[in-house]
């Protein structure tokens, strides 16, 4: 299509983390402000945008499949791949004629500028410079409304990573750590609370590093304390935190503030000391276990989730068993399990003795089963108890679904009208599939 033509229909699909989700909300806000109409990725559009992820080979495959789907829907459309996979593998995308515009990090934030530049499948517009500059600045991306339509908002306050774990491509495609200034964080929290959001999730690529690149700014613990005197929603949730970053002062700050959700996501990756060393993870299994038990003792109803990787190169059966034994003995609430996926340019991609095929699937399946058992056992503890639930979706007439502060989906039967965004006290009676089921709404509607 003629690149000078005014395009109005745009479809966006997002893969990957909460940071990507937040950035997509920014894209759509900017596009709408310029007169674009946002449509489903299943519909015919003038512009298709795939906001990509590069953490695993599967994410790259999914990105390429979405780009091919966009071409089938409208061969004359502008097809944009943005984000981490575009940054990592621009040459393959161009070689396979999958996109007219390839926008890495941070090129994607100039989306409107690049849409005005010509690009074809044979000669795509490529913007992948600057992602790894030594002293990056945080891209200010104010968002007033989430594109997901949820009653929970996500707020990106940090980007990048300095750690260079041996398996991880993120520092190469997202660059070094950078933070949103404290006053801007507080202002955006107030804005989202004023827009009606009852919960805000603070997120980043390496959230626990927030503020460490800024002069005369507090750390994450200090930021939470600053919120005491400012407007904030009834709930604030923290996304993933690294084990070494949950120091006693941060745990105390969370424990003493009832408006901070009792939910921790703390990557483990492996329960074997040697594998953690080869991963370049800055802790050992004993230190990780000590932290999990300390959190559980302080906040026994808190959800504690973990990322764990199966089949890291050279992982022996005995080392895998060490991981399983450690997880079985910890009061974890759920697992996110990933099979190892070699990422181009990372140290682990050069390691010998990969775990492959049936054995990789077997180990992944064992960890997934452990995760299922732990999730079920954690949720069973709340049957017969009252919980506070933030309602989000009416899944069928007289049945709503919401989320507890400790990250459990709860189905709530009610004959009331539109309860979306309400925080309700409910009593848990059992299960509905894997989720909890409440018997109905108590009289008290909180906050």
Coil/strand/helix, residue 368: helix
Distance CA 48, CA 240 (A): 30
Q: Can you tell me which residue has the tokens 């990422």?
A: 343
pTM of the model: 0.93
Distance CA 128, CA 90 (A): 8
Distance CA 88, CA 357 (A): 25
CA–CA distances in Å: residue 84 to residues 53, 55, 81, 137, 440: 5, 8, 9, 18, 44
Per-residue pLDDT of the chain (447 residues; tens, 9 = 90+): 444 456 589 999 999 999 999 999 999 999 999 999 999 999 999 999 999 999 999 999 999 999 999 999 999 999 999 999 999 999 999 999 999 999 999 899 999 999 999 999 999 999 998 877 777 889 999 998 888 777 899 999 999 999 999 999 999 999 999 999 999 999 999 999 999 999 999 999 999 999 999 998 899 999 999 999 999 999 999 999 999 999 999 999 999 999 999 999 999 999 999 999 999 999 999 999 999 999 999 999 999 999 999 999 999 999 999 999 999 999 999 999 999 999 999 999 999 999 999 999 999 999 999 999 999 999 999 999 999 999 988 888 889 999 999 999 999 998 776 677 688 999 999 999 999 999 866 544 444
CA–CA distances in Å: residue 57 to residues 40, 409, 435: 25, 29, 30
Distance CA 444, CA 267 (A): 37
Strand ranges of the sheet holding 303-310, from the earlier edge strand across to the other edge: 263-265, 303-310, 334-339
Distance CA 23, CA 158 (A): 12
The DSSP H or E segment spanning 81 is strand 78-83
Distance CA 241, CA 244 (A): 8
First to last CA, the chain: 52
Coil/strand/helix, residue 13: strand
- Return the closest-CA partner of residue 363 out of 326, 305, 325, 317: 317
**Which fold, 9-127?**
Rossmann fold (3.40.50)
Q: What phi-psi label fits residue 294: left (phi over 0), alpha (psi between -120 and 50 degrees) or beta?
A: alpha
Helices (DSSP H) in 299-446: which residue ranges? Answer: 317-329, 357-380
- Return the closest-CA partner of residue 161 out of 152, 153, 170: 170
Coil/strand/helix, residue 245: helix
Distance CA 302, CA 366 (A): 25
The DSSP H or E segment spanning 441 is strand 435-445
pLDDT at 384: 96
Which residues, in sequence order, are CB contacts of 316 under 8 Å at separation 6+?
none
Distance CA 321, CA 356 (A): 17
Distance CA 362, CA 191 (A): 47
Check whether the bond before 106 is cis (ω within 30° of 0).
yes
Give start-end residues of each CATH 3.40.50.12160 domain in the chain. Answer: 9-127
DSSP string, 264-331: EE---B-S-HHHHHHHT-SS-HHHHHHHHHHHHHH-TT-EEEEEEEE--TT--HHHHHHHHHHHHHS-
Architecture in CATH of 386-445? Beta Barrel (2.40)
Give start-end residues of each CATH 2.40.50 domain in the chain. Answer: 386-445
Q: Are 59 and 16 in contact (CB under 8 A)?
A: yes
pLDDT at 444: 43
Q: Are 370 and 320 in contact (CB under 8 A)?
A: no
Distance CA 315, CA 149 (A): 42
132-261 — its CATH code?
Answer: 3.30.750.210
Q: Which tokens go with 378?
A: 């954690």
Q: Can you tell me which residue has the tokens 């695993």?
A: 56
pLDDT at 148: 76
């Amino acid at each position: 299509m003629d690149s000078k033509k005014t395009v109005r229909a745009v479809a966006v699909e997002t893969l990957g983390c909460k940071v990507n989700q937040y950035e997509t909300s920014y894209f759509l806000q900017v596009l709408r402000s310029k007169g674009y109409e946002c449509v489903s990725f299943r519909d015919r559009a003038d512009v298709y945008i795939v906001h990509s992820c590069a953490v695993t080979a599967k994410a790259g495959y999914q990105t390429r499949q979405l780009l091919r789907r966009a071409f089938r829907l409208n061969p004359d459309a502008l097809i944009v791949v943005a984000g981490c996979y575009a940054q990592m593998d621009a040459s393959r995308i161009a070689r396979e004629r999958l996109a007219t515009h390839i926008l890495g990090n941070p090129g994607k934030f100039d989306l409107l500028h690049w849409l005005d530049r010509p690009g074809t499948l044979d000669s795509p517009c490529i913007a992948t410079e600057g992602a790894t500059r030594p002293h990056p600045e945080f891209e200010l991306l104010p968002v007033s409304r989430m594109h997901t339509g949820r009653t929970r908002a996500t707020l990106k306050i940090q980007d990048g990573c300095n750690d260079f774990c041996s398996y991880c491509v993120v520092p190469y495609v997202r660059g070094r750590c950078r933070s949103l200034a404290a006053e801007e964080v507080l202002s955006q929290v107030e804005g989202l609370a004023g827009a009606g959001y009852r919960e805000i999730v603070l997120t980043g690529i390496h959230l626990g590093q927030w503020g460490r690149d800024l002069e005369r700014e507090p750390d994450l613990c200090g930021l939470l304390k600053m919120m005491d005197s400012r407007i904030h929603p009834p709930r604030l949730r923290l996304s993933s935190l690294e084990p070494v970053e949950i120091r006693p002062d941060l745990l105390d700050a969370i424990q003493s503030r009832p408006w901070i959700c009792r939910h921790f996501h703390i990557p483990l990756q492996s329960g074997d000391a040697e594998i953690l060393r080869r991963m370049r993870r800055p802790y050992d299994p004993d230190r990780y276990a000590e932290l999990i038990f300390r959190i559980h003792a302080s906040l026994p109803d808190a959800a504690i989730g973990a990322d764990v990787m199966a089949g890291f190169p050279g992982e022996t059966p005995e080392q895998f068993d060490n991981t399983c034994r450690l997880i079985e003995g910890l009061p974890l609430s759920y697992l996110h399990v990933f099979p190892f996926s070699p990422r181009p340019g990372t140290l682990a991609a050069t390691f010998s003795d990969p775990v492959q095929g049936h054995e990789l699937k077997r180990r992944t399946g064992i960890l997934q089963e452990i995760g299922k058992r732990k999730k079920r056992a954690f949720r069973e503890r709340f049957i017969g108890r009252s919980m506070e639930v933030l309602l989000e979706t009416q899944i069928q007439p007289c049945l709503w679904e919401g989320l507890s502060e400790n990250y459990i989906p709860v189905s709530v039967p009610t004959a009331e009208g539109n309860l979306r965004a309400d925080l309700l006290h409910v009593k848990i009676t059992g299960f509905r599939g894997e989720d909890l089921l409440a018997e109905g709404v108590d009289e008290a509607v909180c906050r």
